[in-house]
Chain A
Amino acid sequence: MSKEAILNKLSDAVVNGKPDLAKEGANEALTSKIDALDAINNGLVKGMSIVGDKYAARQVYLPQVLMSAHTMYAGLDILLPAIPKSAVADMKRCAVAVVEGDVHDIGKNIVKTMLTASGFDVTDLGKDVPTQTIVDFAKEKKLFAVALSTLMTPTMDCMKAAVDGLVESGYRKNVKVCIGGPPTSPEFAKEIGADHRDADAKDCASWLKEVA
């Protein structure tokens, strides 16, 4: 199979939400000596980008987006270990987390997908994440950005605690802090000292790419 055909297979697998095809395509890419980063960017990520655009245009909805994300990760699991360490080191590192006290993570997972599809090296800290874990991880891994999410009002204060913790740690000036989730707003982001708030995962990724 030609390189173009393999890349198309990866992209199509993501667009159509077919994880088995993504795994197959990823293995074929490696067997055919296609550069893993090329396969990711011009195969999986290209597909996810198409899905992101279709979602924004309301041509596809959450079930398809989630299946596409699942498919992209199935391919990434195979391709990421094949990327040279030097290439990974050049990627900007980010973390996503649902703050302490909240476990609603669907929005966080979509942000993770869009950041990954935008070329960031993303660590998922999970849900109900203690503030200190976010702060320590950001500092230790020298993160470029942390994206924090919550669905519930009472846990919004944990976003402020995370920003305050980053300030106290001395790392705040090195890291961008994005927040999201239904109860948040740009005004709230400003109030707590976060850098950005978006209502849309794709816009969050675009903003981070812009400031990177």
Chain B
Amino acid sequence: MAEMTHIERVMAALTNAPADRLTTYPIACGVNRKLVNGGITYREWCHDPKLFAQAFIEGQKAFDYDFAIGLMDLSVMAGDLGAGVRMDEQNTPFVDRHIVNSPEDYEKFEVPDIKKGRSAVLLEGTKLYADKLKTEVITAGFLEGPLLALSQSAGAERMFMDMFTNPSAVHKALETMTAYDVEMVKGFGKTGVAGLCWDYLWANYSCLGDDQYEEFEGCKKYAVGLNELTTKEGMAVAIHSCADLPHLDTQIFKFKPAIYSMAYYPLIPGSPSATEVIEKGYADNCLIGGQIDPQLFIRGSVEKITQVTKDLCQEVKTALCKKGLQGKYCIASGCEVPPDVHTKMENIKAVVDTTKQYGKIDW
């Protein structure tokens, strides 16, 4: 088959039509800042929409991905809600001061002005890279789900215990988080991205059971409603799982995303392999992404990551062929490529180039 454009390839994958090869997207986001102006700090990158966008544009030039998905970090919403965010120069920003100290504090949350703070940087930056790249690749924004935003603001331990002892207070705050997400979805809808990738972090059996997840995020008034709004705003729903033991039935069969990206946790018994995910039907109506160990981008050699990518291509091609599917698997990292100064950029290139060579669909 003749070589397809990135967009043709992704559209073929999404619709299970014949494609030239598997799609690929090492989730390289913050690490692309190393390509901007000889390398900028994380702080600079995530405070300036132009620099934020430029990193994705430079990443596309350097590595020729099939997607551009604009993950900034997981403390954007919490920071704009008033939590303290620690901003080391070369580390992913993270919350170091939570703002819930009593059950009453859950009621004090207010939806921030999304035209200010890092929410605005995220939206403006997303629009800038979407404008530049949307005719070349499939672009998507990236947004934290309500339970994640709340856990980042309240502290995960505190929130989990309050889910047990003060569920109504937690729900009150989740309503505010959802209202904040609604504003953000509408904002992303104006950026021109083709999709919106949700991080529903806590949908995993290490943390919550099905009933708990359903009550606190998986239901109509939270995630289901937000997914519907995403579609209504003209964007495809994508989901990134950050965790082991994901709630695949909920996140894929119930949420029905166009794309689902799997985390890499081979050590946890019960976390599904790429083959198992395909065999169990999760790829039937969803483009699955995964599952290269993100640590290989720092600690692996080019030879090692090339071999891992080659093996993964072979594994998923075999499983897809057996299932009668086409290119419904995207060769990706199982979580973000570490945005570390020591990350080997040549390993990102190796994943893309290896997929081009060994991801050819020939059945």
Distance from B81 Cβ to chain A, minimum over Cβ atoms (Å)? 17
Determine if A67 and B295 form an interchain contact, defined as CB atoms under 8 angstroms apart. no
1/0 per residue, CB under 8 A from B, across A50-93: the answer is 00000000101111101100100000000000000000000000
B interface majority secondary structure:
loop
Determine if A62 and B295 form an interchain contact, defined as CB atoms under 8 angstroms apart. no
Residues of chain A within 8 A (CB-CB) of B338 are 153-154, 183
Residues of chain A within 8 A (CB-CB) of B363 are none
Determine if A64 and B164 form an interchain contact, defined as CB atoms under 8 angstroms apart. yes
Q: Is A139 an interface residue (CB 8 A)?
A: no
Determine if A62 and B206 form an interchain contact, defined as CB atoms under 8 angstroms apart. yes
Q: Is A171 an interface residue (CB 8 A)?
A: no
Distance from A67 Cβ to chain B, minimum over Cβ atoms (Å)? 5
Residue of B nearest to A55 (CB): B206
Determine if A62 and B340 form an interchain contact, defined as CB atoms under 8 angstroms apart. no
Determine if A182 and B265 form an interchain contact, defined as CB atoms under 8 angstroms apart. yes
Supposing A154-B90, A154-B338, A185-B295 touch, asked if A66 and B161 sit within 8 A by C-beta, the answer is: yes
- Interface segment among A101-109, A130-138, A140-148: the answer is A101-109
Distance from A51 Cβ to chain B, minimum over Cβ atoms (Å)? 12
Residues of chain B within 8 A (CB-CB) of A60 are 209
Q: Is A47 an interface residue (CB 8 A)?
A: no
Partner of A188, one of B88, B161, B209, B295: B295
1/0 per residue, CB under 8 A from A, across B161-198: the answer is 10111000000000000000000000000000000000
Contact residues, A162-210 vs B (CB, 8 A): 182-183, 185-186, 188, 191, 199-200
A52-B156 Cα distance, complex, nearest whole Å:
19
- Interface segment among B49-57, B91-99, B306-314: the answer is B91-99
Residues of chain B within 8 A (CB-CB) of A43 are none
Determine if A183 and B294 form an interchain contact, defined as CB atoms under 8 angstroms apart. yes
Residues of chain A within 8 A (CB-CB) of B156 are 106
A64-B94 Cα distance, complex, nearest whole Å:
26
Determine if A154 and B92 form an interchain contact, defined as CB atoms under 8 angstroms apart. yes
A183-B267 Cα distance, complex, nearest whole Å:
11
Q: Is B358 an interface residue (CB 8 A)?
A: no
Determine if A63 and B212 form an interchain contact, defined as CB atoms under 8 angstroms apart. yes
Determine if B161 and A63 form an interchain contact, defined as CB atoms under 8 angstroms apart. yes
Q: Is A25 an interface residue (CB 8 A)?
A: no
Residues of chain B within 8 A (CB-CB) of A61 are 205, 207-209, 212
A140-B260 Cα distance, complex, nearest whole Å:
49
Q: Report the interface size class on chain B.
A: 35 or more
A105-B208 Cα distance, complex, nearest whole Å:
18
Q: Report the interface size class on chain A.
A: 20 to 34
Q: Is A152 an interface residue (CB 8 A)?
A: yes
Determine if A153 and B157 form an interchain contact, defined as CB atoms under 8 angstroms apart. no
Residues of chain B within 8 A (CB-CB) of A182 are 244, 265, 335
Q: Is B109 an interface residue (CB 8 A)?
A: no
Partner of B160, one of A66, A102, A154: A66
A149-B96 Cα distance, complex, nearest whole Å:
16
Determine if B267 and A185 form an interchain contact, defined as CB atoms under 8 angstroms apart. yes
Distance from A57 Cβ to chain B, minimum over Cβ atoms (Å)? 11
Determine if A154 and B91 form an interchain contact, defined as CB atoms under 8 angstroms apart. yes
Residue of B nearest to A200 (CB): B268
Determine if B94 and A62 form an interchain contact, defined as CB atoms under 8 angstroms apart. no
Contact residues, B303-355 vs A (CB, 8 A): 335, 338-341
Supposing A58-B205, A62-B206, A103-B86 touch, asked if A152 and B94 sit within 8 A by C-beta, the answer is: yes
Q: Which of A58, A63, A155 has the most chain B CB within a 10 Å cutoff?
A: A63
Partner of B88, one of A58, A62, A101: A101
Supposing A183-B294, A185-B267 touch, asked if A17 and B164 sit within 8 A by C-beta, the answer is: yes
Partner of A154, one of B206, B208, B212, B340: B340
Residues of chain A within 8 A (CB-CB) of B341 are 154
Residues of chain A within 8 A (CB-CB) of B133 are none
A101-B96 Cα distance, complex, nearest whole Å:
10
Residue of A nearest to B202 (CB): A62
Determine if B157 and A106 form an interchain contact, defined as CB atoms under 8 angstroms apart. yes
Determine if B267 and A67 form an interchain contact, defined as CB atoms under 8 angstroms apart. no
Determine if B91 and A63 form an interchain contact, defined as CB atoms under 8 angstroms apart. no
A106-B91 Cα distance, complex, nearest whole Å:
20
Distance from B167 Cβ to chain A, minimum over Cβ atoms (Å)? 10
1/0 per residue, CB under 8 A from B, across A86-121: the answer is 000000000000000111111001000000000000
Distance from B274 Cβ to chain A, minimum over Cβ atoms (Å)? 18
Residues of chain A within 8 A (CB-CB) of B208 are 61-63
Contact residues, B78-112 vs A (CB, 8 A): 86, 88, 90-92, 94-96
User: A residues within 8 Å of B by Cβ?
Assistant: 17, 58, 60-64, 66-67, 70, 101-106, 109, 128, 152-155, 182-183, 185-186, 188, 191, 199-200
Q: Which 6 A-B pairs have the closest CB atoms?
A: A153-B338, A199-B267, A63-B164, A63-B160, A62-B207, A154-B91
10 other A-B residue contacts (CB within 8 Å) besides A62-B208, A102-B94: A17-B164, A62-B160, A63-B164, A66-B164, A67-B164, A106-B157, A182-B265, A183-B295, A186-B267, A188-B299
